[in-house]
Structure 1
Amino acid sequence: MKRSATERHWPHAKRLSRRVARVFAVLFAAMSVLLPVAAGAADDAAPLLAYGARVAGDDARTRIVIEFDRNPEFSIHYVANPVRVIIDLPETSFGLKPESLEPRGLFDAIRYGGMGAGASRLVLSAKGPTEVTHAEVKPEEDGKGFRLIIDAEKIDRARFDTLLGDQKWTGTVRVAKTDRPAPAPAKAPGAFVVAVDAGHGGIDTGAIGSVTKTEEKHVTLDFARDLVATLNREPGIDAFLTRDGDEFLSLPQRVQIARQRSANLFISVHADTLRQKDIRGATVYTISDKASDHLAADLAARENLSDEIAGIPLESEPAEVADILIDLTRRETQAFSVNLARSVVTSFEGQIKLINNPHRHAGFRVLQAPDVPSILLELGFLSNKEDEKQLLDPAWRKKVSELLAVAVRRYRQTAVANGG
C-alpha cells in the first residue's frame, strides 16, 4: 500500500518540528532573561513619581517627608537673599495634592517642578537662616516605595554664611542627565530672525487662572507656538522658540539663546495676574531704568523673581548683561525696541482689547539683551475672567498671532530701510 506524501515525509517533519521547538525554547529562555532587564532599564529611564508628602514642625524645627515610587538620588544646597534650601532630584513627576506641601514652620513657600534636562527641584523658601541637619532616604515598610526625609533647624546668620562658603555649587543642576543642546542655526542666511520666548516653565508655573486654574506657563507656550508658526509663514522670517516644552530656563539663558541665534527681535510672552480683577487687556513693555508707573514696576518685580523661584543664585547672571539698566549706551537697541512696541500697539488697536496706556516700560531682566530689540507682551490677565477665556481660545490666539505678524513685518520694513 502506497503512503501519502504527508506520511512519507512525516519523520522529516517531526525532526524539523523538534528542531523548531528547540529554537523557540532557546528564544523564549533568552527573552525571559532579557525582558526583565529591558523593563528595569525602562523603569530607570522613566521619571520618578512623588505621590505623597507632608510637612510638620514649628519656627525652630521643621520636617518634610516626600514619598517616591523609587529610591531618589538627591543633593542639597543653599541660596541667600532670600534664604532658600535647594533640593535637586532626577526628573520627577509630582503627583502631589497642593495642600500636602503647604508651607509651615521654618518655610513660608515651597515650590517644586522640572528644571529641564532630566532634572527636577524643590525650593524651600525659609523665613530666616536655616540648615538641613538630617536628610536620608528610607524604604517604605511595605517595600513599595521610598521616603525622603528632610529635617531642618533654625540657625544664626554666621552659621548660614559658613554653609554658603563651604558649598561648591554655582546654581547648576548636578543631577541632570544631559546638557541642554546648543540652539540650531538659522534656517537661511540673511533671514530676519525672531526669538519667541514663552514665559515661565518647569518649576516656575507663573500666574494661575482665576476660573480654570490654568497655569501661565502653559498659556504662554500655546500662544508662542502659534506665533512662531504664523511668523514662519512670512517670507524671509525665521522664528523659533526659546523653549518648546515644560522646562525651566533662567532669565539670562533666555537672553543668551536669542543672542546665540543672532536674533533680530526678541518677544517674551506673558499672561500675569493682578489684584484688581477688573483690569484687562494687552500691554507691551520695553526695558527702562525707571518704570513708567506702579503697575509696570510691580509686574517687572514679579517677573524678575522667576530665577529666585527656581533657586537660581542672582550672582550666576552673566556679567555682560548684568548692568543693562545702568549702561545706557545701548540706547540704539532701546530705540528699536520702542519702535517695535509702537508697531504692535498700532496693529492691535481696534482689533483686540488693550489696557489704558498700552505701551509701558520697566526694568525687566528678560529684556536685557544689549544688541537685540526686545519687548515683553502681556497678552492679558489670568485674574480677569474675560481675559482668561480669550487666552484659552485657539481662535483668539490665532487672531493675535496674525496681528503680531503684521506688526513684525511693518517693523522689519522700517528697520531695514533705516539700516537696522
Structure 2
Amino acid sequence: MSRTGRLLLGASLLAGGLLLNVPAAVAAEPGPLLAFAARIAGDDARTRVVVEFDRKPEFSLHYVADPVRVVVDLPETAFGLKADSLEPRGLFDAIRYGGMGAGNSRIVLSAKGPVAVTHAEVVAEEGGKGYRLVLDAERVDQARFDALLGEQQWTGSVAAAKTDRPVAVAPTREGGPFIIAIDAGHGGIDTGALAGETKTEEKHVTLAFAKDLVEALNKGAGIEAFLTRDKDVFLSLPQRVQIARNKGAHLFISLHADALRQKDIRGATVYTISDKASDHLAASLAARENLSDEIAGVPLQSEPAEVADILIDLTRRETQAFSVNMARAVVTSFEGQINLINNPHRFAGFRVLQAPDVPSILLELGFLSNKEDEKLLLDPEWRKKVSERLAVAVQRYREQAIASGG
C-alpha cells in the first residue's frame, strides 16, 4: 500500500475509534524526513543557510577542523533539493548533503576559514506547511574556533569495530572458501565523481557494478564474495577496510569511476598501494579518493598503533606482493577484451588499500568524464562482460595464492 493509502486508512480508523488497540510502532510509519527546499545568502562575514522540511527535524551541530567544517546531523532524510539551491557562497566554499547509514543523514558546510554558528533553530512555517532549519554563521578568529572545538563533546567517529582474529594473506589448500570483499566506492553523502551533462553519480555506477561482480564471482567454485555496502550509504575508509578484515577476506577489490579534466583519457586502471605514486595521475586520483571522509565531515583518524608494529609491517610487505599479483592478473585478463589506459597497473597511497593483512586493489573501471567510457559504465551488458573478465582474473590469482599459501 502506498504512503497516501496508509494515511487515508489511518484517518478512517481514527474516525471510527479503532486505533486504540494498534501498537504505536505500527501506527506511526513516518518514513524519512523530506528536505524539499533550501537557500543560502550572505557574504564573507556572515552567512545564513535555510533548509525546509516536511516535518520537524531533530538536529545536532558540530565542528571539524583541518579543514574547517560545520556538520549538521539529521535523522534519515530524503533530499529533494534543486541542484543549485545550496550553491556555496559567503563563508562556505562547498556544501554537501546525503545519507550516513544507520538511519542518519548529514549536511556538511565546508568553510573558507574559522566560523561559528551563532544561531540555529527550527521554525514552523505558517499554515502548517512544514518546518525550516535556520543556521546563521559568522567569521571568527582561530582562538574562538579552537575553543568551540574544545568545548564540544563529539568525535564524529564512525570507525568499525576492530577484529582480534588474524586474517591469512593467502588461503591454504585445506582452507574454506576464498573470501572476497567487493567495495563499491563512495556512497551516501559522498557522491564521488559527477559526469558532465548527465550528472551521473559515481556512487551509483560503482554499486551497480559491484552487485554484478559479486554475482559473477559467486558462480565460481570455492569463492564467496560479499559487498561492503549493498545500498546508497556512506562508509568511512577505515570502515571499508575493517569490514573486509572482520569477515576474513582473502582479497579486497575497491571499485571506482573517476572524472578527469582531460576528457580524452579513458580506459580501466588497476592500482595497488605504495608510499610513492607511480605518476602524477595516480597521485592526484589517490588524493581525491582519500578525501571521502573529509567530504562526509568525518575527523581524520590516526593509524591504529598495531600498524606501526614491525610484525604488521612485515605482513604488509607480503600483502603488497599478493596485491601486485592480483593487479597483474586483472591486466592480463582485460588485455584485448576490455579497454585499458596506458600503463594500466599503477600505484599510489590510497587509504582504502591500507589493510596490512588483506591483499587489495583499487579498480578504476573507466572515467565518467569521457563520453565513451560513461556509455559503457551505464551499459549492463558491458558491466557483465567486465565482471566475467574479473572473475577469470580472480580465479587465476586464487590458484596462485593457494599455491603460495602451501
CA distance in 2, matches of 1:160, 1:409: 53
Within-5 A mapping of 1:317-356: 318-321=304-307, 327=313, 330-356=316-342
8 Å CA contact 2:313–2:356 kept in 1: the answer is no
Count of aligned pairs between the two proteins:
382
Please point out which of 387, 391, 414 is paired with 2:373: 387
Question: Which runs of no fewer than 5 residues in structure 1 stay unpaired?
Answer: 1-25, 174-178, 183-187
8 Å CA contact 1:337–1:374 kept in 2: the answer is yes
Aligned residue for 1:276?
Answer: 262
CA distance in 2, matches of 1:323, 1:388: 43
Please point out which of 86, 101, 104 is paired with 1:101: 86
The structure with higher relative contact order (CA 8 Å, sep 6+) is: 2
**Per-residue CA distance 1:2-61 (angstroms, 9 max, x = gap):** xxxxxxxxxxxxxxxxxxxxxxxx998442556796786112xx0000001110111010
User: How many percent of aligned residue pairs carry the same amino acid?
Assistant: 77
**Counterpart AA for 1:383:** S
Aligned residue for 1:75?
Answer: 60
Aligned residue for 2:176?
Answer: 190
Aligned residue for 1:368?
Answer: 354
User: Cα 1:232–1:107, aligned 2, differ >3 Å: closer, same or farther?
Assistant: same
Matched, 1:42 2:29: yes
TM-score normalised over the length of structure 2 = 0.89
Aligned residue for 2:155?
Answer: 170
Aligned residue for 2:241?
Answer: 255
Aligned residue for 2:214?
Answer: 228
Following superposition, the deviation at residue 213 of structure 1 comes to 1.5
User: Cα 1:58–1:322, aligned 2, differ >3 Å: closer, same or farther?
Assistant: farther
What is the aligned-residue RMSD (CA, Å)? 2.5
SS in 2 for 1:206: coil
Following superposition, the deviation at residue 212 of structure 1 comes to 2.3
8 Å CA contact 1:197–1:242 kept in 2: the answer is yes
**Counterpart AA for 2:224:** D
Following superposition, the deviation at residue 172 of structure 1 comes to 4.0
Please point out which of 116, 129, 152 is paired with 1:131: 116
Aligned residue for 2:344?
Answer: 358
**Counterpart AA for 2:106:** R
8 Å CA contact 1:52–1:95 kept in 2: the answer is yes
Following superposition, the deviation at residue 112 of structure 1 comes to 0.1
**Counterpart AA for 1:129:** P
CA distance in 2, matches of 1:257, 1:267: 12
Aligned residue for 1:5?
Answer: none
**Per-residue CA distance 1:184-221 (angstroms, 9 max, x = gap):** xxxx9711000000000000000112242110000000
User: Cα 1:35–1:51, aligned 2, differ >3 Å: closer, same or farther?
Assistant: farther
SS in 1 for 2:190: coil
Following superposition, the deviation at residue 415 of structure 1 comes to 0.9
The structure whose Rg is larger is 1
CA distance in 1, matches of 2:246, 2:68: 33
8 Å CA contact 2:179–2:224 kept in 1: the answer is yes
Question: Which runs of no fewer than 5 residues in structure 2 stay unpaired?
Answer: 1-12, 164-173
